[in-house]
Amino acid sequence: MPEDADVILAQLLLSRRFVEIDQLHEAVEYQRHEKAGGRSPGSLGDVLVAKGALSREKLEELQNIGSIEVSPAKKRFANYEIHGKLGRGGMGAVFKAVDTDSGETIALKILPPASAKEEDSHLERFLREARVALTLSHPNIVQGKKLGNVKGIYYYAMEYIDGKSVADVLDGYGLMDEGDALEIVRQICRGLEYAAEHNIVHRDVKPDNILITRDGVAKLADLGLAKGPASDARVTASGITLGTPHYISPEQVRGEEDIDVRSDIYALGISLYEMVTGGPPFDGDSMGVVIAKQLSDAIPPARDVRPDLSIATEYIIDNMTQKDRKKRYQTPAAVIKEIDGLTGKRKRPRLKF
């Protein structure tokens, strides 16, 4: 498996369009070949620079992403009082903060100054996430609060979630109860249905982007790849593969322009598979291998991995993850109807963390 730092770098490279996926695949294959021969190939970034696919300047720019800090002596940013860091991702650091005007606890995402350039695609993604979230209001989507800029530093305030991501739950507690997993999918489908009604496609549904509150409410997060009616032409019609390899739909891999909610249904189906089996259906030594499997390989039967799983849940997974999107559930509402028919009206997930 690729190193975590290399995976993060690869995702940043693709999202910012610094390299083509074929160049990434070639670099990863070179790393694997060198390791197999007992040699140290260096990091993915170093390999890409050595091959002339990436400049050292661009690599250093990516390595600076997320480096912004709030010093202990300065616990305020704009009109927010900082109460600690929640995490760091491809688009900067996220802090727990309190809005000093309203007293509300929020999550505050701050984009590093090095990435805050008007022509920068990373800034475009940051602004797109905030603007899309600010237009949506649904209990199963993380609510946007405010987008702002202080002395050239962009920030985005959003709903604070007291809970964990599905990925964190799986990492810490193992397989999910089948009923809980289906209820999470049902709730996220409500959010996706609402988003689709507003012509929004998420395009990066995965366990990391599904948050669960302590009282069992599932919320869809990270709209940085979301496609809306006013999306930039370079995002909607570039043919660039966007998404995360383990969850990306075949039509996204092919770079098709008319991506719709059925791609989100596919990714959510892969996520459901992971919730009930412990891992995604496809893996490989490189992103290229995983993406190739998304295009051509059938999903391994979930019951082969977890024999106690019901036939009905395996049926739902199969119908969410058909390679041909015309053969999938056509709307999130159809998935909800199927789950309701299987489980009836359920209470919120009984997650323990």
Catalytic residues: 204
Q: Residue 175 is encoded by which pair of tokens?
A: 């397989």
Q: Which pair of structure tokens corresponds to residue 73?
A: 């002596």
Structural Rg of the chain based on CA atoms: 20
SS3 track for the chain: CCCHHHHHHHHHHHHCCCCCHHHHHHHHHHHHHHHHCCCCCCCHHHHHHHCCCCCHHHHHHHHCCCCCCCCCCCCEECCEEEEEEEEEECCEEEEEEEECCCCCEEEEEECCHHHCCCCCHHHHHHHHHHHHHHHCCCCCECCEEEEEEECCEEEEEEECCCEEEHHHHHHHHCCCCHHHHHHHHHHHHHHHHHHHHCCCECCCCCHHHEEEECCCCEEECCCCCCECCCCCHHHHCCCCCCCCCCCCCHHHHCCCCCCCHHHHHHHHHHHHHHHHHCCCCCCCCCHHHHHHHHHHCCCCCHHHHCCCCCHHHHHHHHHHCCCCHHHCCCCHHHHHHHHHHHHCCCCCCCCCC
Residue 17, CA atoms < 13 Å, CB-side half-sphere: 14
Cβ neighbours of residue 262 under 8 Å, at least 6 residues apart? 249, 251, 325, 328, 329, 330
For the record, the structure tokens of 15 come out as 């999202």
